[in-house]
């Protein structure tokens, strides 16, 4: 998400870090009590002028082609660890902070129903274009308040408990087996490199895996039914929505005043994805009923069926949000893991040794028990999330006034908590530019683990509004990486100095022409 940060990606916060976070919160609380007395007025928070800011995004402007990370880091160099991104055309001012004490304060004061500044274009579509479908159920991505809280409470047991994933181990393994065959089909027979559009293939893998959760069916988009029109429509729209959201709701846009071309594209895209999802969900339920009538034993414990038992509308909305928030972000994470392993062959060899213990043969099945025995795999993924931070951070709006970096911030002010930018900061992570999965494991001699600075590693957010799809993404990425590294030695023989760019979230900036060499048994 995150991405799913938007539902917004992978590793649960363990007991130790939670204690650290609580300790940091207590320390920040004591600091805040002093700051409250001397808080400076909100009007003094550093900021550019609105016209100056708007001109910087126009053609030829300083940030005309910049990502949210690039222009925020540029602003940080100019204004310091806290500043304001001016709102315009109906969007509020955003406070941006890189201060870990501020991040702790914001999370501690977010309340039982954390408010995150929504993607207003999506809210507009659901409230005013298609209220016939959504009504009061706006979804977890853009919903707020008590309605959001009720929905989150209903779906938490389905998505956040490990037992809900048990039935997906085998079908996800089969999907990844199909992806491995696809790699063998498309790689060059002499160089063993995959084509320049391999990112599209990785996105198809992730789409197929997430569609299994969303709609209880395999769409066949990897090999069997690559031209499936409904699958392709959902595949395309899930990616387009992300791009249009950035243009309408993050960059300055006048769509709330006048119907812009991007706004019209967004509304058409949202309509198309909704119509196709309704049709696919209805077909999935018909196929399920046919199998039951034929006497086939059908599980009623899938995530989709459990959502259907609560409310079919909820199942539809969650299916769409899983794809919207998950496909691009998870495919990008997979590419980043493969890239870091390709550029650090000694880490890849170490991971393969661990995977071989769990998968003696390439055909060995992965299950809940064997997946527990791969700590280095999880460390590799966690370090990749740090090494290539996905976006800048997460948004919150505190229901009460708070003091951030000594400034009195009024209630309801959107605050962008730039925690992800701190993952490459040497003040928080020694040797930040080195890929070191070992930093997340216990030292074999001392038995100690690295103590990450509180509130600097939050790729899935924190608190009641943390990423709902984290466990699903964990399972998919761990399965894919384990299967690929067991089957292939992965290399990347091209420039990877700037492999990603970031709009709202990270996306590829180069072609991933990996070389996949078969591992001999």
Q: Which residues are annotated as a binding site for heme?
A: 467
Indicate the helix (H) or strand (E) that contains 243. helix 229-245
Work out the burial of residue 212: count CB atoms within 10 Å of its CB; fewer than 13 is exposed, 13-18 middle, 19 or more buried.
Answer: buried
Those residues whose C-beta lies under 8 Å from the C-beta of residue 42, and which sit 6 or more positions away, are 407, 408, 409, 410, 413
In sequence order, the 6+-apart residues with CB closer than 8 A to the CB of 69 are: 389, 391, 392, 421, 502
Q: Are 165 and 469 in contact (CB under 8 A)?
A: no
Give the whole-angstrom CA distance, residue 474 versus residue 103: 25
Distance of alpha carbon 223 from alpha carbon 270, whole angstroms: 27
Enter the tokens of residue 150.
């009720």
| Helix, coil or strand: residue 102 | helix
Q: Measure the CA–CA gap between 367 and 371, rounded to whole angstroms.
A: 6
Buried b (16+ CB within 10 A) or exposed e, 446-483: eeeeeebbbbbbbbbbbbbbbbbbbbbbbbbbbbbbbb
Q: Please give the structure tokens belonging to residue 360.
A: 């003696």
Distance in angstroms (rounded) separating the CA atoms of residues 115 and 151: 14
Binding residues, by number, are 467
- Buried b / exposed e across 360-392, counting CB within 10 Å, b at 16+? eeeebebeeebbeebebbbbbbbbbbbbbbbbb
Question: 396 Cβ partners below 8 Å, 6+ apart?
Answer: 106, 107, 110, 114, 115, 116, 414, 415, 417, 465
Which three-class secondary structure string do you get for 120-150?
Answer: HHHHHHHHHHCHHHHCCCCCCCCCCHHHHHH
């Amino acid at each position: 998400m995150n991405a799913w940060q938007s539902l917004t990606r992978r590793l649960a916060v363990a007991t130790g870090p939670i204690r650290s976070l609580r300790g940091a919160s207590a320390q920040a609380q004591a600091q805040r009590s002093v700051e409250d007395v001397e808080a400076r007025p909100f009007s003094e928070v550093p900021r550019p002028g609105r016209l100056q800011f708007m001109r910087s995004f126009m053609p030829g402007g300083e940030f005309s082609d910049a990502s949210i990370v690039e222009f925020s880091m540029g602003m940080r160099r100019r204004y310091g660890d806290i500043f304001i991104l001016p709102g315009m055309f109906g969007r509020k001012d955003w406070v941006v902070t890189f201060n870990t004490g501020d991040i702790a304060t914001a999370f501690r004061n977010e309340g039982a129903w954390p408010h995150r500044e929504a993607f207003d274009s999506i809210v507009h579509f659901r409230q005013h274009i298609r209220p016939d479908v959504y009504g009061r159920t706006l979804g977890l991505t853009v919903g707020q308040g008590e309605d959001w809280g009720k929905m989150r409470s209903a779906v938490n047991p389905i998505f956040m408990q490990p037992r809900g994933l048990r039935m997906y181990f085998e079908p996800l393994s089969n999907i990844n087996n199909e992806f491995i065959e696809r790699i063998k089909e498309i790689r060059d027979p002499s160089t063993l490199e995959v084509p320049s559009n391999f990112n599209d293939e990785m996105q198809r893998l992730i789409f197929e895996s997430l569609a299994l959760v969303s709609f209880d069916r395999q769409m066949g988009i990897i090999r069997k039914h690559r031209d499936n029109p409904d699958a392709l429509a959902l595949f395309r729209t899930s990616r387009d929505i992300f791009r249009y959201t950035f243009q309408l709701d993050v960059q300055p846009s006048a769509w709330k005043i006048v119907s812009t071309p991007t706004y019209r594209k967004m509304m058409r895209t949202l309509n198309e994805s909704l119509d196709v999802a309704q049709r696919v969900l209805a077909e999935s339920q018909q196929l399920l009923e046919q199998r039951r009538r034929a006497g086939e034993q059908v599980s009623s414990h899938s995530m989709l069926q459990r959502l259907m038992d609560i409310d079919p509308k909820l199942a539809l909305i969650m299916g769409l949000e899983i794809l919207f928030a998950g496909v691009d972000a998870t495919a990008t994470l997979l590419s980043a893991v493969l890239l870091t392993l390709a550029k650090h062959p000694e880490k890849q060899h170490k991971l393969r040794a661990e995977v071989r213990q769990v998968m003696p043969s390439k055909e060995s099945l992965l299950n809940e028990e064997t997946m527990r025995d791969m700590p280095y795999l999880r460390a590799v993924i966690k370090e990749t999330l740090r090494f290539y931070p996905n976006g800048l951070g997460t948004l919150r709006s505190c229901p009460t006034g708070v003091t951030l970096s000594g400034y009195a911030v009024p209630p309801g002010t959107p605050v962008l908590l730039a925690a992800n930018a701190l993952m490459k900061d040497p003040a928080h992570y020694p040797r930040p530019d080195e890929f070191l999965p070992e930093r997340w494991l216990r030292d074999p001699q001392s038995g100690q683990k690295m103590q990450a600075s509180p509130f600097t590693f939050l790729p899935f957010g924190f608190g009641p509004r943390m990423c709902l799809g984290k466990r699903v993404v964990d399972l998919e990425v761990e399965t894919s990486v384990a299967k690929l590294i067991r089957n292939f030695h992965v290399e990347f023989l091209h420039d990877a100095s700037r492999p990603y760019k970031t709009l709202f979230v990270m996306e590829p900036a180069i072609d991933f022409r990996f070389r996949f060499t078969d591992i001999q048994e």
